[in-house]
Structure 1
Amino acid sequence: MTRQPHPLAAPPRPVARRRARPLNEQAPESRTPWNGPAFADVEHPCRHLDPVVAQSARVEDFLLGGRTNFAGDRAAGRQVIDGRAGAGDDAVARKRFRARAMAYLAAAGVTQWLDLGCGLPRPHWWTTDLPADIHHLAAPGSTVVHIDRDPVVMTHARALLRARDDGPVRVRHLEADITDFSAVLGTDLPIRRERPVALLLFDVLHEIADADQVVRAYQAAVAPGSLLVISHRSADSEDGQADASSHALAGLPYTARSREEVTRLCADWELLGPALCPLTDWSPALSPDDLSAQRRAGGYAVVARKP
């Protein structure tokens, strides 16, 4: 018995048949084979990346439980954790200080931000109680410039640390080594240099042997009233010494500094809030005379103003 179609059913669509091309006919130009992404003939910044060589920002991402890391970064991260089990907790504390400091500066009315050695964004699924980054806190009309030398970091920064083109905050990215301050400052940065700017040095100066020279160079380039934020790993505790050893074994640059050495980095700045204090205790409401602000710790934080 033949099944009858439903009276409301649509008529069957005709089957389009492709014309067979004669063997001597050339394919049209639009049918040329795909030879890879658009930048195949351009020197892409990640082309010569060695995934076996660890890099500090990607090791930090591993310690935070992120996925923007390679085999070499994971091997180095495991060495850091083997050296001290609390290394992952300290990585979380560093990100939390970054969030607190950014909120403090935003409330103070900062509209120009230079994120020097910005590192990788925190894993987006890691925690929901912290703002994603500066452009979520900055006032409308602000400008944020993220600077880092690692091409992987900058690739992710351009994708994740960005704002809408028509949004209230302008976000720009510069792939450069912050220790080459003449090159960074010689770039046409989208900031007004006659106005104050926030210099953010979150967890980066321990990778720089001559950190005082770097801080002085950027201080000289910004207007009075500019703000400086530093978080720095410490040489004053057993944890800091263990971290220094494990980073050295992993082949990562590491110059831990004592409380006095970190204080000297800010010698020509006016210290705000609790002045220099343990990173986990920093709060704008904390007094410099508070005993918790004066204790030695595995990491220090400071916010200061250029007179």
Structure 2
Amino acid sequence: MSSDLGWVPPGVDTTVPSPARVYDYWLGGGHNFAPDRALGEKILQIMPGVRDAARLNRSFLRRAALHMVESGVRQFLDIGSGIPTVGNLHEIVQAEAPDCRVVYVDRDEVAVAHSELILAGNGNTAVVQADLRDVDAIFDADPARKLLDPDQPVGLFMLLVLHFVPDEWDPAGLVARYRDRLAPGSFLALSHASAEAKPDGMDEAVQAYNVRSSANQAFPRTHDEVLAYFEGFDLVNPGLVGCPSWRPDGEGDFAANPAINEVPFAGVAVKP
């Protein structure tokens, strides 16, 4: 990316890799630094299919968002939204229904700074810098209070974020706190790294990631563990499946390596 770092918020340590920026690198984005690229390349050498896994997750976001718009949802909350790149949530939903409103949430200062730049001039979008554990603070933040009507359904996105939440933080309990703030008819779209998929190099890739990114450990989980996050929601067909198997548009939504297609679990559910 550009060597001009004047836009980087004060206090950001660009020498430490960030999950959001590594993901941006895998997607071919330009909002990453040398340590992010170094870690991203190391993981790619161990597990070349990780770039496909990132692409599959991005494609799932699009399909899930369109399903929600078609179901009448016009307001969205994206937790752990990461670095803005091609195919942002607001671009997808506002192309279908211009009145859609989107609030992005991330704790990464660089992700928030770039979001603010991209969203400038779009009055139906905003970004909140917060940890996903600060549920009440997120919903009570001025952008959320302005754009999200608590009495109407919300499309809640939690994509590839909960596998950075350790068990002691009670990820299922966290999701339940969000669920309790949502109106009936709200949707949850969730994806999570699988502990059951075993493409070549995955265990070694997770270990290498955790060694190089000590502040953001990854915790792949089993199907049953991820399924528990949907408690209080009704899963829509086809349930919790390998990411590309959730209502694919065609063969292009799948990776050539079948094992990679099972790496992220993905599902969409509605609050009754």
TM-score (norm 2): 0.83
**2:189 maps to which residue?**
229
1:185 aligned partner: 139
Q: Which amino acid aligns with 1:247?
A: Y
Q: Structure 1: 5+ residue runs without aligned partners?
A: 1-39, 125-129, 286-295
**1:137 partner SS:** helix
For residues 172 and 131 of structure 1, the distance between their equivalents in structure 2, rounded to whole angstroms, comes to 12
Structure of larger gyration radius: 1
Partner of 1:262: 226
Deviations 1:257-296 (A, max 9, x none): 11111111112210002011110111089xxxxxxxxxx9
For 2:152, the equivalent position in structure 1 comes to: 195
User: Which stretch of the first structure deviates more once superposed, 276-285 or 256-265?
Assistant: 276-285
> Within 2, Cα distance between the matches of 1:171 and 1:98?
17
Amino acid at match of 1:246: A
CA-to-partner distance for each residue in 1:185-220, whole Å, 9 max, x for gaps? 232422111111111111111111232121011001
The runs of at least 4 consecutive aligned structure 1 residues that moved more than 6 Å come to none
Higher helix share: 2
Question: Which residue identity lines up with residue 304 of structure 1 in the other structure?
Answer: A
Report what 1:244 is aligned to.
206
Aligned amino acid, residue 302 of structure 1: G
Letter paired with 1:197: V
For 2:11 and 2:29, the matched residues in 1 are separated by: 23
- Once the two structures are aligned, what percentage of the paired residues are identical? 31
**Matched positions, count:** 247
CA distance in 1, matches of 2:67, 2:120: 21
User: How much is the aligned-residue C-alpha RMSD, in angstroms?
Assistant: 2.5
Deviation at 1:142, TM superposition (A): 2.3
Q: State the partner residue of 1:122.
A: 85
Mark the CA change 1:270 to 1:140 in structure 2 (over 3 Å): closer, same or farther. Answer: same
CA distance in 2, matches of 1:164, 1:93: 28
Higher relative contact order (CA 8 A, sep 6+): 2
Q: Relative to 1, partners in 2 of residues 1:132 and 1:306: Cα closer, same or farther, differing over 3 Å? A: closer
1:85-107 C-alpha deviation (Å, 9 max, x unpaired): 11111111111111111111112
Superposed, which structure 2 residues align to 1:159-174 within 5 Å?
A: 159-161=117-119, 164-165=122-123, 170-174=124-128
What letter corresponds to residue 250 of structure 1 in structure 2? R
Report the counterpart of residue 49 of structure 2 in structure 1. 86
How high is the TM-score relative to the length of structure 1? 0.74
Distance in 2, Cα, partners of 1:131 & 1:220: 23
Unaligned runs of 5+ in 2: 1-5, 250-260
1:234 to partner: Cα distance: 0.5
Question: Take 1:72 and 1:143, find their aligned partners in 2: how far apart are those partners?
Answer: 34
1:10-51 deviations in Å (ceiling 9; x for gaps): xxxxxxxxxxxxxxxxxxxxxxxxxxxxxx9xxx98111111
State the partner residue of 2:34.
71
